[in-house]
Amino acid sequence: MSAVRREALVLHLDDAPQAVETYGFAGSQGVTLEGQLLRTDDESDTLFVFMHPTSTLQLMPIPEAMAARGMHVLCAASRYPKNDSALVFEKVLLDLGGWIRWAREQAGYASVVLMGWSGGGSLSLLYQAEAEAPTITHTPAGDPVNVAGAGLIPADGVVFIAAHLSRAETLTEWMDPSVIDEADPYRRDTELDIYAANPRHLPPYDAAFVEAFRQAQRDRNHRITAWVREELERLRAAGGPEIERPFIVHRTMCDVRWLDATIDPNDRRPGWCYLGDPRTANAGPAGLARFSTLRSWLSQWSLADSRARSLLNAPRITTTPVLQIENSADDAVPATHNAIVRAALGTADKSYELIPGATHYYKGQPEQLQRCVDTVESWCRERDLLRSSMRTAGARA
């Protein structure tokens, strides 16, 4: 078997943001995207495209395992690599569209399969829905963004793998509902503080407490959204060069599921989340939505406004085959989310695979990782999405 090679790629898009959204040279000089093409010496007419809205995935186990099998894998970054503070989903759609256009028109691939892993799952569903039937002309903040006129090229297949409903819904289910003052994370409702030294409620939690906890999480998300809209209106009314502002969202890694394994059960480790001890992660710097801007909140995190919610987009995918892979020990994706997506998909060609014991990242799980790659490969071959290529190396130049 040939060794996996990594080819660095750079893609420039003609898009001028209203203000600089990311730090560094690339962020201030228009839109410059980076990616890595993973492949062996084997030729292929099919490209598997991984994109997460904010992460870069070239070091993940799955892309390298697929490439080692002879598949061509593109790990494509958006304009917000490793920093989602100012991320606007509608602009990420343009980035993903640019990569797929590159794959078709410059690299010469006959088939493109979207690999929607984790946060890339809802992105892939949103992209494919807009590529099949474009609708978006503005962001939730009201800024023009011509997704509908961008000519997004549909993928030939979508793989929804270890993925949740959306960043907005996942954040909401992880928000600490005990926070009562967004400016002071130490002011908390002791009735809802499950991480307190002496919490009022202990696992296993009764159904009434869980419902009150969930409603308080939704209420907190909506309160932040209302404040964001007020701040945007204040900036617009003032006029002048100030058009955006950043803010901090405290304590966003708090879920009764992590302390009570009987809630939405799967094979996950109790008292743990993908960031480690959830009590530590809740106040740490790496929690979801910890740093945000007004526009990013509405597009990415608002339960009322984000267009990346899978329930909005899964029914819109009507002509594309979709493979859904769930990991039974996933310690990031809520166990209920996959069934909701599966029921909502509009396509008649939808497949489902559960991988027992698999965690979110497949770290140290070679058997589960191999089963995942086997499933993707066989599913693609059954639909003639993966076949040998007659292209030469020069056709990709």
Give the helix/strand (H/E) hosting 134: none
21-30, 167-176, 382-391: which is most confident: 167-176
Hey, CA dihedral for 352, 353, 356, 360, is it positive or negative? negative
Model confidence over 254-287: pLDDT tens digits? 999 999 999 999 999 999 998 999 999 999 998 8
pLDDT greater than 90 at residue 353: yes
Task: Say if residues 148 and 131 touch (Cβ distance below 8 Å).
Answer: no
Span 149-168, mean pLDDT? 97
| Separation CA 325–CA 381 (nearest Å) | 16
Alpha helices in 299-336 (DSSP H): 310-313
Span 214-225, mean pLDDT? 98
Instruction: Return the percentage of the chain with pLDDT > 70, whole number.
Output: 95
How buried is residue 104: exposed, middle or buried, by Cβ count under 10 Å (0-12/13-18/19+)? middle
In this prediction, residue 1 carries a pLDDT of 56
Give the helix/strand (H/E) hosting 159: strand 157-161
What value does the mean pLDDT of the chain take?
94
371: DSSP letter: H
In this prediction, residue 395 carries a pLDDT of 38
Model confidence over 74-109: pLDDT tens digits? 999 999 999 999 999 999 999 999 999 999 999 999
| Separation CA 261–CA 36 (nearest Å) | 38
Closest CA to 217 of 301, 145, 311, 292: 301
Q: Which residue has the tokens 């130490």?
A: 186
In this prediction, residue 28 carries a pLDDT of 63
In this prediction, residue 357 carries a pLDDT of 96
Span 15-42, mean pLDDT? 81
Write phi, then psi, for 264 (nearest 5 degrees): 50, 60
pTM, two decimal places: 0.94
In this prediction, residue 390 carries a pLDDT of 32
pLDDT class for 20, splitting at 50, 70, 90?
confident
In this prediction, residue 14 carries a pLDDT of 83
pLDDT greater than 80 at residue 335: yes
In this prediction, residue 392 carries a pLDDT of 36
| Separation CA 161–CA 158 (nearest Å) | 9
Model confidence over 277-325: pLDDT tens digits? 999 999 999 889 999 999 999 999 999 999 999 999 999 999 999 999 9
pLDDT greater than 50 at residue 375: yes
Domains in the chain, ordered, with CATH?
5-166+306-396 (3.40.50.1820), 170-301 (no CATH)
pLDDT class for 2, splitting at 50, 70, 90?
confident
